[in-house]
Each structure stands twice: as structure tokens, then as C-alpha cells.
């Protein structure tokens, strides 16, 4: 039997400061992916393209991701209030 998971209680991690980073993609992460895909590191010009595309892609995706996250939190609140 599979146990259900609650994302709100699956971790003991606490975010206390507004400046805490929740998710980060480093240049090293990109270069590792580039080595896997192309067998080489990206040039500065290519890294500029990566940065622009990630900023756009993540921004667009957040319009979908944020509502999903907060809907789940609201749903869990509603269950706890019942």
C-alpha cells in the first residue's frame, strides 16, 4: 500500500528570510548540460542566449506554476478546516 504524501509536511526545511533562494540554476548546471548535449562548454554569447531564454521560459511557466502551488495550499487549508 502506497502512503500519500503531503508536500507541506514532507520536509523539515523552514524558509525564514525573504532573501532565501528556493531554486537556482548555475552556470555550472548549464555547462554540464551543454557537455552532455554538445560535448563542449558554451561560449559567452551562447550563455547570454541561455540566460535570456531561461528568464523568459521561467517567467512564462510561473504563470502556470504559481496558481497550481497556491491552489494546493488552499486545498490543504480547506481540508484542515473541515
Determine whether 20 is exposed, middle or buried from the number of CB atoms within 10 Å of its CB (0-12, 13-18, 19+): exposed
Chain segment 18-49, per-residue pLDDT in tens: 888 888 999 999 999 999 999 999 999 999 99
Q: Does the pLDDT at position 13 exceed 70? A: no
- Given a cut of 90, whether residue 1 has pLDDT beyond it is no
CA angle, residues 20, 61, 37, in degrees to nearest 5:
90
Question: How many degrees, rounded to 5, is the angle at CA 10 between CA 8 and CA 11?
Answer: 95
Q: Are 34 and 42 in contact (CB under 8 A)?
A: yes
- pLDDT for res 2: 42
pLDDT band at residue 11 using 50, 70 and 90 as cut-offs:
low
The domains of the chain are located at: 43-82
Amino acid at each position: 500500500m502506497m502512503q500519500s504524501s503531503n508536500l507541506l509536511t514532507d520536509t523539515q526545511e523552514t524558509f525564514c528570510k525573504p532573501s532565501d533562494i528556493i531554486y537556482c540554476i548555475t552556470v555550472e548546471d548549464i555547462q554540464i548540460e551543454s557537455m552532455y548535449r554538445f560535448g563542449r562548454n558554451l561560449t559567452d554569447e551562447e550563455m547570454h542566449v541561455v540566460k535570456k531564454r531561461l528568464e523568459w521560459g521561467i517567467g512564462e511557466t510561473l504563470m502556470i506554476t504559481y496558481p497550481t502551488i497556491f491552489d494546493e495550499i488552499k486545498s490543504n487549508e480547506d481540508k484542515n478546516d473541515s
